[in-house]
Chains A and B, each alone.
Chain A
Amino acid sequence: MIPTEQHIKLPDGSIERQTTTLNLGPTHPATHGVFENILELDGERIVSAKQTVGYIHRAFEKLAEHRPLYQITPLTDRLNYCSSPINNMGWHLTCEKLLNVKTPKRVDYLRVIIMELARISDHLICNSIVGVDTGAYTGFLYVMQYRELIYEIYEEVCGSRLTTNIGRIGGFERNFTNTAFEKLEKFLREYPVVLKEFENLFMRNRIFMERTQGTGGISAERALNYGFTGPNLRATGVDYDVRVHAPYSSYEDFDFIIPVGSTGDNYDRFMVRGEEMWQSLSIIEQAYKKIQEFTGAESEIYHADVPEYYLPPKVDVYTKMEALIWHFKIIMGEIEMPKGEVYLSVEGGNGELGFYFISDGGRTPYRLHFRRPCFIYYQAYPELTKGAMLSDAIVTMSSLNLIAGEMDA
């Protein structure tokens, strides 16, 4: 793993005789996850970076070939575990596209609320960890308190905090309780104040600006060639957002802007994520208002009417024959699966998370491939850090929001 010969050419004007090899190894202090960078340094400047990934390769794609559809949802949870509801809903949307299931509007709006909460949760971790890497630990601790509130909302809906396994094909497993809506209202009241305070710590802070501006930049053409998507691409100036280009789950009913940067450096990425959090907040408020407009029987809908793919409620399973049969068939995987292949992508916390699903009519997918944004844009890391100083390399790594679970799958 460690190169034994020096093939690296030192830049002109260097005072060293050979480059220093530094192993920014799999266990790092910034808790980003496990990936390794072998850096060749000329003094403090980086000459080359060689990456090794795969330290948490869990063989999701092979596992998915042996599991029926509902058992794949917990696997998708663990892809980008900071925003796991987005992954779950992406998978359910893929299944719904293949199985031709249409979800009612209320389900779509509820899904949008949960997905935007997940996006806020993901961006909060990323931005506060960029702060921690520049030395500012306060923002991280302050903002973790509000992630706890988001976790409480998930707990009300699905029972679990982090790896949510939320929803079913066609909707949700239960209606949102009044407690869930109260917690959501509390979040909508208290969180904007907190976000404003967090931004005041960093946005115009001279030290932070000098650390992050001008480092880790990439141009839009190179970014597109490298396959960047998500906030990293939007920071370079390209306004590509899957929620707008290929709207899913009724995103076309919402009014939001896509924040775009200009130089693609660390500061732009931080600012794009910060502004996206405000936009997500606005989307949640719009969705919540729309949900409150449903009255009567419509306000009780939380799933589509597809008995073949949606597990029936337990009360019916114990009393009605049909529900018992459907429950048995769905759990055993004896449902009718059409043959076909479908590719669907959702806007995850890091970019376009794609699911390529080939079904041959059997219980389990024939092939399921995850298009993981982190894996694809981590290739650009040597280009982003060429000639940068070591401390900038750390900040670049954390501002790219690399989640090891998604990178290795």
Chain B
Amino acid sequence: MSLTNEKIKEKLVGKFGDQVGNFEESFGMLSFSAPKDMNLKVLQFLYDEPDLSFRFLTDLCAVHYPDKHDAELEVVYHLHNLKDNVRLRFRVSTPVSNPDVFTATKLFESANWMERETYDFYGVNFLGHPNLVRILNVDEMDYFPMRKEFPLEDQTRIDKDDDMFGR
């Protein structure tokens, strides 16, 4: 009995009711979202349930939507069921004023550095993380560079001629 997107949706709605929503299917992958305090419960359910058993965390990243008030930062989990070869995308949103999300490191060890990277780039504070410090940028950096309001280039350079570079 293969695991289809319909079955996953039924099981999720059956367990969590209308707290999970925004079911979309893009290019064959089902994606849904849930409130941020439920993220661990949903992940645990997807891990433990024998039919679903999404036991592999492929990816964890964040996206910044400056226009969506109160839900600017969105953490996206990509999960993979290796036995039935089904992928799933799970999103949680958090406002930028209070960017706390529970950490998934107790369930998946691979989330450790991925959450540090997300913190480094977007400032999402993962509660309960063993070592939430910057990982890729320099330790003294005081802003979160991947947010849309910050520019790409280094602003402290004085020897570059902006006219020549079309800026």
B109: A residues at CB distance < 8 A: 222, 225-227, 379-380
In the complex, what residues of B have CB within 8 A of residue A356's CB? 59, 61, 76, 78
Residue A371 CB within 8 A of the other chain: yes
8 Å CB contact of B26 from A53, A224, A341? A341
Nearest CB in chain B: distance from A388 CB, A: 19
CB-based contact A379/B61 at 8 Å: no
B56 A224 Cβ-Cβ under 8 A: yes
A97 interface hit (Cβ, 8 Å): yes
Question: Which of the candidate stretches B10-18, B36-44, B110-118 sits at the interface with the other chain?
Answer: B110-118
| Cβ contacts under 8 Å, B134 to chain A | 54
Q: A53-B136, A224-B56 are in contact. Are A376 and B63 (CB under 8 A)?
A: no
A176 at the interface (CB under 8 A from B): no
Q: Find out whether the CB atom of A224 lies under 8 angstroms from the CB atom of B114.
A: no
| Contact (A62, B145) CB under 8 Å given A226-B109, A352-B58 | yes
Q: What's the Cα separation between A66 and B78 when bound, in Å? A: 24
Q: A62-B146, A369-B59 are in contact. Are A343 and B87 (CB under 8 A)?
A: yes
Whether the Cβ atoms of A408 and B59 lie closer than 8 Å is no
Residues of chain B within 8 A of A227, CB atoms compared:
56-58, 108-110
Chain B interface, >50% SS class: mixed
A358 interface residue (CB < 8 Å to B): yes
Question: Whole-angstrom distance between the alpha carbons of A63 and B154 in the complex?
Answer: 12
- Within 8 Å of chain A (Cβ to Cβ): is B29? yes
- B17-62, CB < 8 A from A: 26-27, 29, 31, 55-59, 61
Q: Is the CB of A59 within 8 A of B82?
A: no
- In this complex, the member of B82, B110, B112 whose beta carbon has the largest number of chain A beta carbons within 10 angstroms is B110
Shortest Cβ distance from B57 into A: residue: A227
In the complex, chain B residues whose CB is within 8 Å of the CB of A246: 85
The proximity string for B residues 66-102 relative to A, scoring 1 for CB distances below 8 Å and 0 otherwise, is 0000000000101000100101010000000000000
Q: A61 within 8 Å of B by Cβ?
A: yes
Once A66-B152, A352-B58 are accepted as A-B contacts, the answer to whether A340 and B27 lie under 8 Å apart by CB is yes
Q: How far is the CA of A62 from the CA of B61 in the complex (A)?
A: 13
What separation, in Å, do the CA atoms of A97 and B89 have in the docked complex? 17
Residues of A63-117 at the interface with B, using a CB-CB cut-off of 8 Å, are 63, 65-66, 97-98
**Which one, B57, B136, B145, contacts A54 given CB within 8 A?**
B136
A340 vs B112: C-alpha distance in the bound complex, in angstroms?
28
Q: Which A residue's beta carbon lies closest to that of B110? A: A227
Q: Which residue of A lies closest to B120 (CB)?
A: A54
- Given the contacts A53-B135, A54-B135, A340-B26, A61 and B110 also touching, CB distance less than 8 Å: no
Q: Is the CB of A245 within 8 A of B85?
A: yes
**Distance, CA A343 to CA B91, complexed state (A):** 14
User: Per a CB cutoff under 8 Å, which of A225, A238, A341 touches B108?
Assistant: A225
1/0 per residue, CB under 8 A from B, across A331-356: the answer is 00000000011110100000010101
A342 touches B137 (CB 8 A): no
A367 near B58: Cβ-Cβ < 8 Å: no
Residues of B within 8 A of A (CB): 26-27, 29, 31, 55-59, 61, 63-64, 76, 78, 82, 85, 87, 89, 108-110, 112-114, 117, 121, 134-138, 145-146, 152
Q: Which 7 residue pairs spanning A and B have beta carbons closest together?
A: A227-B110, A54-B136, A57-B136, A369-B61, A371-B59, A225-B109, A226-B109
